Amino acid sequence: MAAKKGGFKNLTDKDMANADGKVPPRQRSCTNCQDKHLKCDKHVNVLDKCTNCQKYNEQYCDVSPK
């Protein structure tokens, strides 16, 4: 049998935020990465800007509230 493509990712205990089995909340991308459909690392990066905003020399790198 061939494996199915796509579907749900099998989450491990490391991926789970809570012991009750809920999936952790998604990280928001900055507005520039949202516009360009790029993966944002602002929540990981310790600098003022994410890697993409540094690469494209963007003036602002901010995450808009929901």
In the chain, where are the structural domains located? Answer: 24-65
> pLDDT tens digit string along 18-27?
556 677 778 8
Q: How far is CA 3 from the centre of its chain?
A: 27
> pLDDT tens digit string along 4-62?
555 556 656 555 555 566 777 788 899 999 999 999 998 887 788 999 999 999 999 99
- Which H/E stretch holds residue 54? helix 51-55
Q: Which residues contact residue 66 at a Cβ distance below 8 angstroms, ignoring those fewer than 6 apart?
A: 28
